[in-house]
């Protein structure tokens, strides 16, 4: 999962015509570390569906404030610069919940017209 370190990198990532999933985390968050062991498998499973990125909420606080990212880890899906769906709360996320979120994001992205 590629880390986005600047707002410019974030804006470029979400502008894609492909589905982009951004995971907002921090280094000190135990629930963020809980997902670390299985996220590579999730990324691999959905490699043809989405591109995955992560942002350290503490490194880009203004962006996270703009996006109203309060609980972490948080997942937000984008396509063509538009937010499609989000999975944001303060609770620990299971692999099943994350995969359900990605399936929902893919369904929403698939229902939208493609921009060239």
Domain positions in the chain are 2-111
Q: Which residues are known to be catalytic?
A: 29, 32
Residue 106 exposed, middle or buried by CB count within 10 Å (0-12, 13-18, 19+)? buried
**Parallel/antiparallel/unpaired status of strands 82-87 and 50-56:** unpaired
Q: Phi-psi region for residue 68, left (φ > 0), alpha (ψ -120 to 50) or beta?
A: left
| Per-residue model confidence (pLDDT) at position 110 | 87
**What are 61-95's pLDDT values in tens digits?**
999 999 999 889 999 999 999 999 999 877 789 99
Q: Does domain 2-111 have CATH number 3.40.30.10?
A: yes
């Amino acid at each position: 999962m590629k880390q986005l370190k600047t707002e410019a990198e974030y804006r470029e990532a979400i502008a894609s015509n492909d589905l982009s999933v951004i995971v907002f985390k921090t280094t000190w968050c135990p629930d963020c570390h809980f997902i670390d062991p299985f996220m590579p498998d999730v990324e691999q499973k959905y490699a043809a569906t989405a591109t995955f990125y992560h942002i350290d909420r503490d490194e880009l606080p203004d962006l996270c404030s703009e996006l109203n990212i309060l609980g972490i880890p948080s997942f937000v899906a984008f396509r063509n610069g538009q937010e499609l769906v989000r999975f944001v709360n303060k609770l620990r996320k299971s692999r099943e919940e994350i995969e359900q979120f990605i399936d929902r994001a893919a369904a929403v992205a698939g229902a939208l017209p493609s921009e060239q």
